[in-house]
């Protein structure tokens, strides 16, 4: 079932009652309720938001990712379930014991799929992809020849123009991409925890200060879905430096956009769970390939 995303931009008081999230809006004196089992994400943006401990506990028990924003209204922290799977200990051990050879093969698959999806996105916009398709075929184990970086230089210049440079602190539409990727990263982390995996232990990313290395790995083939949403905003003349309520709502819709895995189409949020479950099976030695979506 597709889970709901709740986004709070006004002063709100959140509590729990009879397995429902109770939403009180002081400004309008309204009260609403949402079944907690139907929620996938709660994004708390307004600084005058209050949430009770019982509400947080029930959200946590239902593997709801509670995302908190900073003073710049950007996601900065997340509450995750530390007991998200009944085989948690066994899955952790399998993940820790996975071989470097397996990790290198999985990263090769990941980058191949990412580049394929970049090519497909460009084609969907009637943009010439140049040598990107060839780069996907050249990806080696662990992407030792860095085809990912070479592909990125072509991809960004084709999608947003030759003057665009992908930079976290750069000009538009970089802020839109940043926000979309943060939301995607949160969704991937939630799916990893739900599959009993530790988001910190990556297959490629190894930054000692990064608590979500595995999420950063697995989100790579999903990035073009965010890029597509940002491209639509950019084409519509959106002010790329301003993240207003409508812009954020548009980017949040990426979580429910349709993606195709094999011949089955499903919402991205659900597809992520299929991807992370397949990764767990790879760590267990049951499979050798991660299930990723094909952009179309």
Rg of the Cα trace of the chain? 19
Both 113 and 135 in a single domain? yes
Is residue 175 in some structural domain? yes
Lowest mean pLDDT among 23-27, 91-95, 168-172: 168-172
User: Residue 179's pLDDT band (boundaries 50, 70, 90)?
Assistant: very high
Rounded mean pLDDT, 255-275: 92
Pair of tokens at residue 101: 């050879």
User: Residue 295's pLDDT band (boundaries 50, 70, 90)?
Assistant: very high
Count: domains in the chain: 2
| Residue linked to tokens 């491209």 | 231
Tell the burial category of 209 from Cβ atoms under 10 Å away from its Cβ (0-12, 13-18, 19+): exposed
pLDDT at 250: 92
Strands in 65-69's sheet, in edge-to-edge order, are: 4-8, 39-44, 65-69, 75-79
Both 98 and 220 in a single domain? yes
Domain C-terminal end among 79, 96, 121: 79
pLDDT at 84: 59
Give the whole-angstrom CA distance, residue 59 versus residue 68: 14
At residue 87, does pLDDT exceed 80?
Answer: no
pLDDT at 81: 75
Is residue 293 in some structural domain? no
At residue 40, does pLDDT exceed 90?
Answer: no
Is residue 296 in some structural domain? no
Domain C-terminal end among 79, 102, 129: 79
Both 56 and 101 in a single domain? no
- The CATH number given to whatever domain includes residue 22 is 3.100.10.20
Is residue 30 in some structural domain? yes
At residue 1, does pLDDT exceed 70?
Answer: no
Give the whole-angstrom CA distance, residue 194 versus residue 41: 13
Domain C-terminal end among 79, 97, 116: 79
- Determine what percent of the chain is predicted with pLDDT higher than 70: 96
pLDDT at 17: 95
Both 278 and 163 in a single domain? yes
Both 189 and 71 in a single domain? no
User: Which range marks the domain in which residue 15 is found?
Assistant: 4-79
Does the pTM exceed 0.85?
Answer: yes
Both 94 and 32 in a single domain? no
Both 74 and 94 in a single domain? no
Both 144 and 221 in a single domain? yes
Lowest mean pLDDT among 22-26, 185-189, 237-241: 237-241
Residues 47-64: tens digit of each pLDDT: 899 999 999 999 988 888
Both 62 and 171 in a single domain? no
> What is the bridge-based pairing of β-strands 49-51 and 12-17?
parallel
Both 170 and 272 in a single domain? yes
Name the DSSP letter for residue 3. P
Is residue 253 in some structural domain? yes
Lowest mean pLDDT among 35-44, 78-87, 127-136: 78-87
| Residue linked to tokens 């995303």 | 5
pLDDT at 241: 65
At residue 142, does pLDDT exceed 60?
Answer: yes
User: Residue 86's pLDDT band (boundaries 50, 70, 90)?
Assistant: low
């Amino acid at each position: 079932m597709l889970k709901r995303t709740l986004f709070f931009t006004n002063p709100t008081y959140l509590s729990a009652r009879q397995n429902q999230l109770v939403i009180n809006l002081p400004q309008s004196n309204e009260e609403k309720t949402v079944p907690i089992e139907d929620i996938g994400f709660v994004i708390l943006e307004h600084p005058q938001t209050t949430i009770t401990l019982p509400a947080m506990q029930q959200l946590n028990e239902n593997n709801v990712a509670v995302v908190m924003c900073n003073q710049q209204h950007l996601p900065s922290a997340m509450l995750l379930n530390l007991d998200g799977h009944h085989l948690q200990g066994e899955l952790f051990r399998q993940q820790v014991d996975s071989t470097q050879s397996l990790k290198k093969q999985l990263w090769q698959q990941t980058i191949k799929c990412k580049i394929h999806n970049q090519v497909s996105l460009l084609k969907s916009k009637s943009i010439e992809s140049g040598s990107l398709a060839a780069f996907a075929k050249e990806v080696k184990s662990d992407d030792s020849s860095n085809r990912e970086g070479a592909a990125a230089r072509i991809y960004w210049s084709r999608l947003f123009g030759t003057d665009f440079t992908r930079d976290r602190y750069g000009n538009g539409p970089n802020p839109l991409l940043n926000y979309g990727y943060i939301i995607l990263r949160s969704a991937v982390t939630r799916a990893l925890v739900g599959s009993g995996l530790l988001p910190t232990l990556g297959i490629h990313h190894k930054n000692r200060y990064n608590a979500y290395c595995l999420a950063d790995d697995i989100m790579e083939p999903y990035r073009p879905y965010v890029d597509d949403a940002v491209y639509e905003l950019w084409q519509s003349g959106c002010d790329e430096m301003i993240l207003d309520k409508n812009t954020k709502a548009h980017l949040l819709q990426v979580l429910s956009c349709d993606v195709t895995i094999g011949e089955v189409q499903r919402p991205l949020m659900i597809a992520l769970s299929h991807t992370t479950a397949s990764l767990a099976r790879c760590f267990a030695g049951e499979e050798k390939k991660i299930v990723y979506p094909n952009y179309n």
